Structure 1
Amino acid sequence: MLSRRLALTLSAALLLSTNAAFAQAITVPTMFGDIAIPDQPARVAALGWSDGEIVLALGVQPVAVANWMGLVEKGVGAWAVDLFGDETPVVLEAGETNFEQLLSATPDLIVNIRSDNSEEAFKRLSAIAPTVYGPEGTAPYAASWTVQVAQIAAAMGIPEKGEALIAATEKSIADSAAAHPEFAGKTIAVVAKYSDTYGLYLPGDARFDLMTQLGFVPTQPVIDAAGNNFFVEIGSENFGLLDADVVVLLILDGTVESLKADPILAKLPAVIAGRTVYPEEDVMAAYSAGSTLALEYSIDHLVPLLAEAAAK
């Protein structure tokens, strides 16, 4: 995959670039002020959603990773785990940081970009090592992958490597959109079910934003619901709001088979017409992870399914 090849190239060039960057301390603007990083970080702890995969894509093996996806023993998706090689990080449970466990990894930089933006957690983490969150104005769990890359690359002293990674990933998405002109102008709905609850992902969420970058457009209900939220629950009386030219259906706490057998979703016109995509577990996980490496995996595996649905 392009981003993985780029990550290996970045790793080879990392030493020269970071030595220059840390001739003097740098500062990174964040929602909690400018964070000073006095020395080149050699041991990076990645606590935000997909932050670990971004660090790997930039050519560095993090010493600690929060296991947001619960996918593999190293806390990242199958599309990223090979970049650890023989190294194994300290794997932290996501959401409630075990500070003693984090201390055991002896990080000299902590990144927590796509997170709940807790100031209390920021203060506790900063007592361990310089800690970088998203820039001012970043909503909880809503930092885009481009913001993640830019913030993490800046904190590591390799902003130009971040720019290259962003450009390479954007090119992959643009190339895929160009290869599928049939996506342009078709409406899209990205629907999730968990327990007995249904909802829509909205602009600002990595899953939905990838669809618009590929050429799809939001339905009017999605436009109306858009705001600071990246997800909105839909009651059974408003199930028609889940319909679109193409509908991506995700199951968060069950099986794809159970989702396909859902009697309520079966009534949607898109489901009846077969204009639906049911990503399997690995594709759904990559689609949700939203890192550069995960986006490359999603493009490879999700776009063909979108093409089949759009053709109907």
Structure 2
Amino acid sequence: MKNIIILILSLNMLFAFPSTEAYFSELSSDNSKVTKNTLKAYDVKDFMLYFNGEITLTGVLERSDNYDMGDNYTALRFYPDNNIDLPFFPVSFEMDLKNQGASKYGDSWDFSGIKFNRLEFGVLLENIKVKLPEPLNTRFLGVAAIRAEVTIKNYHFYAEGEAAREAYGDLVGFKALGDIKTEYFSKDNYNKGGIYYSKLKYNSKDDYVNIRDKANGKIVGKILKNDMINNNAVLLFINGDGIDYVNHEDIETKWLEVFYLPPNAKDGRDAIHGFVHGSQVKFENGSY
């Protein structure tokens, strides 16, 4: 059974694509320009095409959870404005790149013969040194976005035709061009936006379970047994279903990242984000 489930997860990988537009796509513009662009492709390694230089451009900077291969992860993505091109190519394998005009001389590459396409999805950014306003700077139950001018370095992408794709970069500059737009998810629609959180049930003999800021870390909240059983509190395992299926035999030994919505929580604005120990909870459907 476990082998079958792992196979299913592997098949899901074939269809793992970032969204082609921001959740708040109405923030995008058709009339923008690139302020600076010194990007130049210089190497391909492990099916990843790398660029030197940096680019400063406008678009939508968005924080949300993304779903990929059975796992959720917090993502800071930048979606370039509609009339701005970031270089992309459908396949980033050496042989395909050579067939489309790239040349290799010893250990050096020349990609000047490649006619790059436009990137049609958001760049997954690592925030290197930029101070972002809340809630763009943290994981939370919902989506936040802002029109912004950003500077990206270390741009690179992976592409496998119709099988998979992703683009990455380092966020090194940020300028807000408007107000932050935020939508918090609730107990009734927490899987909105294509994210799949698993509900957890209380499984402790104690009257409460501590929520910590990290494994064995500082206590940031409490989950009352009575609230979980009788008062409509909701506890969500937020890292998707991959760990449930593949590692469910020893889930009770792990620290689980969660969102906890107490009885009076209206939406993600009131949720507590932290970690609980797997020995104190169990999955609601009981099949894992």
The TM-score bracket by the shorter chain reads: under 0.3
After TM superposition, the score normalised by the length of structure 2 is 0.27
After TM superposition, the score normalised by the length of structure 1 is 0.25
Larger Rg: 2
More strand by share: 2
